[in-house]
Amino acid sequence: MKKGFLTKTILILSAISFFTDVASEMLYPIIPIYLKSIGMSVAFIGILEGFAEALAGLSKGFFGFWSDKISKRAPFIRFGYTLSSISKPMMGLLPYPIWVFTARTLDRLGKGIRTSARDAMLSDETTPENKGKVFGFHRSLDTLGAVVGPIITLILISTFVLDYRYLFVFSAIPGIIVIVLCFLIKDKKSKVSKDSTPPSGLILNFFVFWKYLISSSKKYKIVVIPLLVFSLFNSSDFFLLLKLKEYGFTDQTVILFYVLFNLSYAIFSYPAGKLADNLGMRKVIAFGFLIFSFVYVSINFSGAVFWLIIVFSVYGLFNASTEGISKALITNIVSSGETATALGAYNSFSSITTLLASSFTGLIWNYFGSTIALLISGAVSFLVFIYFAFLLKMEDKK
């Protein structure tokens, strides 16, 4: 391995993400069922998820800016992951709608607090030549947790007759591991500011991500804005799972397809990152958008199991080629002193546009059917593929 590729900090951060996703994805398939069982209506569940995800998205920019201003990453990582790890089991221990609403919101807020600082620390730990591999490796471990988590849930509910509340309690086990690992994370000395007090007015500047996008460099805008255009049509993966239900598959089979997608994502993330370092990040990102277009068009061709196995296996390539690598590309085009702010701004806007995308796709699905809804997303992705593949020459001119 080249120097600067896998440091102790990168390995710990990747392990933290793995165990966090194990806990999160243990609960993902059963959260809607559990919420309905304690008296929440579908409308209330939608409001809960929308509010929680919006808070997480908006806070990424704010806490990323704060991290850069005080030149620290570790406190945000520790507090964010600890908050999420504690709040998950609380949803099962106190099965009351108002408390579940609070706990779910705190879980997503924890994600908002930690994400930008964590990605910035990954960037700080390596060189521009190795960032694709580092972010790819991290995404691989993170997504492997999304494979293990649902499998654990399937085994538990297939083997034992369990109240779903106990699954929330079981999620505390990987959560405890996460909290312990978080306190092994330390900031580099060069990153520690003598004054850790937030700058004047910071607490009130929650929408700093908007100001950053306006004042950012041309290089940043010509990469981030097309990514955000795509995310306006990149609805939740839940719609692909709904397409499977439309084809008549059982809940257990749908979960297995979800596991297959995450397994593919985990397997391809590191190779995609390595390829990005060797061939150029723009080219690999462009390939990812082409894959997305293929998936969202071809899933309408047939409901045959063999064909859908191919589609969901290939779909993992999209996330592997875009999720971590787009962040790595962003860190390469901004100065080290504003890495968390730049990532936070992108994450915040991306969260907002993704929420809009899901609403838009849901309306199209409702009025025109699933095929039209998915085809529109695939068409927009193909246009963004053309942009990154043929129109954006910035990275090649470095």
pLDDT in tens, 286-305: 999 999 999 999 999 888 99
pLDDT tens digits, 347-365: 888 878 877 887 788 888 8
Let me know if residue 1 belongs to a domain.
no
CB count within 10 Å of CB 91 equals 27
At 2 the pLDDT is: 45
H/E run at residue 204: none
Given the structure tokens 């390829």, which residue do they identify?
275
At 63 the pLDDT is: 86
Residues 365-381, mean pLDDT to the nearest whole number: 89
Let me know if residue 2 belongs to a domain.
no
Nearest to 23 by CA among 158, 201, 216, 181: 181
Place 159 in a pLDDT band, splitting at 50, 70 and 90.
confident
Residue-number span of the structural domain to which 30 is assigned: 8-186+205-393
Burial profile 284-293: b = 16 or more Cβ within 10 angstroms, e = fewer: bbbbbbbbbb
Residue 371 in this model has a pLDDT that exceeds 70:
yes
Nearest to 177 by CA among 19, 24, 25, 22: 19
Let me know if residue 192 belongs to a domain.
no
Let me know if residue 198 belongs to a domain.
no
**CA dist 126 to 9, 72, 80, 123, 219, Å?**
10, 17, 23, 6, 21
Place 392 in a pLDDT band, splitting at 50, 70 and 90.
low
Give the span between the Cα atoms of 200 and 206, in whole angstroms.
Answer: 13
Q: Which of 30-39, 105-114, 305-314 has the lowest mean pLDDT?
A: 30-39
- The answer to whether the beta carbons of residues 83 and 106 sit under 8 Å apart is yes
Place 40 in a pLDDT band, splitting at 50, 70 and 90.
low
At 205 the pLDDT is: 61
Let me know if residue 196 belongs to a domain.
no
Residue 375 in this model has a pLDDT that exceeds 90:
yes
Nearest to 135 by CA among 148, 118, 112, 149: 118
Give the span between the Cα atoms of 89 and 293, in whole angstroms.
Answer: 38
The SS3 of residue 368 is: helix
CB count within 10 Å of CB 133 equals 27
- The domain spanning residue 369 has which CATH number? 1.20.1250.20
At 42 the pLDDT is: 54
Q: Which of 115-129, 167-181, 188-202, 224-238 has the lowest mean pLDDT?
A: 188-202
**CA dist 260 to 23, 143, 179, 225, 285, Å?**
18, 11, 28, 31, 22
Let me know if residue 193 belongs to a domain.
no
Q: Which tops the pLDDT comparison, 193 or 326?
A: 326
CB count within 10 Å of CB 83 equals 18
Residue type for 158, please? S
- Long-range CB contacts (< 8 A, 24+ apart) of 314-318? 314/264, 315/240, 315/261, 315/264, 315/291, 316/261, 316/262, 316/263, 316/264, 316/265, 316/266, 316/267, 316/268, 317/264, 317/268, 317/272, 317/287, 317/288, 317/291, 318/288, 318/289, 318/291, 318/292
Residue 91 neighbours by CB under 8 Å, 6+ apart: 27, 34, 99, 100, 103, 104, 107, 168
At 44 the pLDDT is: 64
Domains: count for the chain:
1
Residues 125-141, mean pLDDT to the nearest whole number: 87
Let me know if residue 338 belongs to a domain.
yes
- The answer to whether the beta carbons of residues 149 and 266 sit under 8 Å apart is no
Q: What percent of the chain has pLDDT above 70?
A: 88
Q: Which of 9-13, 35-39, 256-260 has the lowest mean pLDDT?
A: 35-39
Q: Which of 128-132, 160-164, 322-326, 359-363 has the lowest mean pLDDT?
A: 160-164
